[in-house]
Amino acid sequence: MNLFEAIRVAFVALRTNKLRSLLTMLGIIIGVGAVVGMLAMGTGFQQYLDSQFDELGVGTFYVLPFVDSNKADEVLSAQLTAEDARAIAQATSLPGVEAVVYEYSGNASVVAGQQRFSYALQGVSNNFFAVNNHDLAVGRSFSADESSGGARMAVLGREAATKLFGSVNGAVGQRLTANGVNFEVIGVLATKPGSIGFGPDVAESVFVPYQTAVTRLFRNQVTTKIDVNSVAVKVREPSQIDATIKQVEALLRERHRLTYQNSDFTVINLSTFQQQASAVIAGFNAFLGMVAGISLLVGGIGIMNIMLVSVTERTREIGLRKAVGAKRWDILLQFLVEALVLCLIGCFFGILLGYLLSFAGTLILVGLFQAEGAQASVTLGAIALASAIAAAIGLFFGFFPALQASRLNPIEALRTE
Amino acid sequence: MASLIDVRTITKMYRMGDVEVHALRGVSLTINEGEFVAIMGPSGSGKSTLMNILGCLDQPSGGQYLLDGVDVGELSDDELAAIRNQKIGFVFQQYMLLARTTALRNVELPMLYGNGRERHARAKAALEAVGMGERLDHKPNELSGGQQQRVAIARALVNNPRIILADEPTGALDSKTGEEIMGIFQRLNREQGITVILVTHEHDVAQHAARIISVRDGVIATDESVRNRTLVGEGRHVPGELEAATAD
């Protein structure tokens, strides 16, 4: 018997017992739906995190003025300055460095008209917005001269602008005071709230030139050893990041007159976080996949059960087929194909179910995981995986009943009532 | 010329628990191409066992069965299946048609497991040969018993077998319809030279054959040609023809 004929016979058999076929398929439908839905959610979450990390800039690491006691033999006090940052940027020994951004931030009470809020106030080097991919919704950011000259200009985060001035567009040109110092608003950022980032939420921040912040706002807080909260170093090639970190560490140790291995600063590489987050999501996916896989297994047992019933019911038919010349392989193929067709039809509807479930997955991601803009997506890979599993289940659980059918003695099979 | 069927002192022994059942205790017979033979015997006589062995559904425990010169006792299950497919057409008492399947599809069944060329045309021709050319698309539950048995005969015929093995083919039919079915077998035997082996316990039915072999207690009790053979349709009795068929 050829494959085409086996498939035709399988469809006839399944149509004969429509309700039974449907109920049997239900296990596969739910199992495949669960696998596809779960994978869609995992993929959506992964894509969301990747996009968040991409916004932070691939290949950026941060130097912070903290002492990691694991990395210092002696008791050291932290040291990191804007001078260090400029030295990193200008060092000819650091060919991998593309840009260096530094900032000093603190809380400030911000007043505009009748509105008074407490916001994170960030004094940033003028390349902060470009390097961190923070586009301006309206207006402009500081020029280099304005930045080094200590201009009293501010760029607002979106939420801050809305709360202080009622709208994003209305903010530019307005004035505000922060800790009693007057600023003119020259631009508002487009960045959405809730983005993963380093430091305070960008949308809820007020940005002023670094020089202005340390000389006018936080003069009492900065010291000669620490006058930045962080120095962000962007490398030209993400692959150079580890080598560049080592070079920057060496440079800073030299500047701080430290011996090898001691650090009075801390380097944080976000791509390590990204890898860790990816690993967590992968584990999460594997766990959900396993749970879904168990329901597929149960579905498979249902298939096996119904195939055994089918073989018993059709013993006479098998006897007849053998009498007219069916070989063992022909019978094996017939029942194997029947189980396979059952599973693959179930798989088809399961994929549709999974597609529906992915919408629920999007709601869960946005609602429960607070992943703004995340979208669960059914990938081709997930569909291929689900189909492969369904086919494997059909073959695995269909094999034993099919083997049993193929081994029936034709005389006894024909005699069965 | 060698006989189509050459059975040499075959035995068949079953083991049912601790008891050995000797269904056949040394049966020898030959059947030539073109014969019409009835095998008779009461239940438990070994008649069914003999039929199963002749039909290559079973193999003897001892002795030799040469079918068309091939020693069937040496063959594997799949080789037996191939022989059944090519050389033997089965007709059963209960018709054994696939339900919810058209007459045409039913007749095509043996061709799924062998030569499948021109399946459709050959199945149609076989159905026409048994007078069912007008009911190709009828399903078994839309056909009378006699019509179903005709479809079953068409299925037995479709691979041009050397032998048709009919196990109580009229057992489920009224006598008039049974006569018609026997007429078909006689016509196939006469016109196409197909060897027909008929298994029955009814004497009236066996009278349609040219030779009756009766089995009792696992051995052949009698083996003789039929006098006053019942011929269906033509209503003529030609003694010379019968003697030619049973002489050697």
Tens digit of pLDDT for each residue in B190-210? 999 999 999 998 999 999 999
Block means of pLDDT (10 residues each) for chain B, 248 residues, are 86 88 92 95 89 93 92 92 94 91 93 86 93 92 94 94 94 91 94 94 92 94 91 55 40
pLDDT, one tens digit for every residue, chain A (417 residues): 688 888 988 888 888 888 999 999 998 999 999 889 888 988 888 888 888 777 666 688 889 898 877 766 677 788 898 889 889 988 888 888 888 999 998 888 888 888 888 888 999 988 888 887 788 889 888 888 888 888 899 999 988 888 888 888 888 888 999 888 899 999 999 877 766 566 778 888 899 999 899 888 888 888 888 889 989 898 888 888 888 988 898 898 888 888 777 788 888 887 777 788 888 888 888 888 888 888 888 889 999 999 999 999 999 999 999 999 999 999 999 999 999 999 999 999 999 999 999 999 888 888 887 777 788 888 898 899 889 988 999 999 999 999 999 999 999 999 887
- Statement: the pTM of the whole predicted model exceeds 0.95: no
Report residue A333: phi and psi, to 5°: -60, -45
Q: Is B232 on the interface with A (CB under 8 A)?
A: no
Minimum-distance CB partner of A324 among B58, B77, B109: B109
Residues 6+ apart with CB under 8 A from B131: B150, B184
Q: Is A317 on the interface with B (CB under 8 A)?
A: yes
CB pairs under 8 A between A and B: 58
Query: To the nearest whole percent, how much of chain B has pLDDT over 90?
Result: 76
**What's the ipTM?**
0.90
Tell me if A325 and B86 make a contact (CB, 8 A cut-off). yes
**Residue ranges per domain, chain A?**
3-54+274-415, 66-264
Tell me if B96 and A320 make a contact (CB, 8 A cut-off). yes
Given 3-state DSSP classes, what are the helix, strand and coil percentages for chain A, each rounded to the nearest 5? 55, 15, 25
Chain A nearest-CA residue for B96: A320
Domain that residue B214 falls in: 5-246
Q: Which of A313, A320, A408 to mutate to test the interface with B (most CBs of B within 10 A)?
A: A320
Minimum-distance CB partner of B113 among A325, A410, A411: A325
CA distance B231 to B45: 28
Tell me if A327 and B81 make a contact (CB, 8 A cut-off). yes
Q: Is A321 on the interface with B (CB under 8 A)?
A: yes
Residue type (1 letter), B96 = M
pLDDT digits (tens, 9 = 90+) for B28-52: 999 999 999 999 998 888 898 999 9
Q: Is the dihedral of CA A145, A147, A153, A159 positive or negative?
A: positive
Chain A nearest-CA residue for B51: A411
**pLDDT for residue A25:** 92
pLDDT digits (tens, 9 = 90+) for B124-146: 999 999 999 999 999 999 999 99
- Residue A78 contacts residue A265 (beta carbons within 8 Å): yes
Q: Is A326 on the interface with B (CB under 8 A)?
A: yes
Contacts of B114 in chain A (CB under 8 A): 325
Q: Is A11 on the interface with B (CB under 8 A)?
A: no
Among A105, A95, A109, CA closest to A125: A105
Minimum-distance CB partner of B85 among A5, A324, A328: A324
CA distance A295 to B206: 61
Q: Write b or e for each residue in B191-208: b if 16 or more Cβ atoms lie within 10 A of its Cβ, otherwise e.
A: eeebbbbbbbbeeebbbb
CA distance A80 to B11: 103
Structural domains counted in chain B: 1
CA of B195 vs chain A CAs: smallest distance (Å): 17
Tell me if B116 and A2 make a contact (CB, 8 A cut-off). yes
Q: Which of B57, B117, B120, B157 to mutate to test the interface with A (most CBs of A within 10 A)?
A: B57
Minimum-distance CB partner of A411 among B58, B78, B85: B58
Contacts of B100 in chain A (CB under 8 A): 12, 16
CA of B236 vs chain A CAs: smallest distance (Å): 35
Q: Considering only residues 165 to 224 of chain B, which have any Cβ-Cβ distance to chain A shorter than 8 Å? A: none
Q: Which value, to the nearest 10 degrees, does the dihedral of the CA atoms of residues A298, A302, A308, A309 take?
A: 160
Q: Residue B159 belongs to a domain with what CATH number?
A: 3.40.50.300
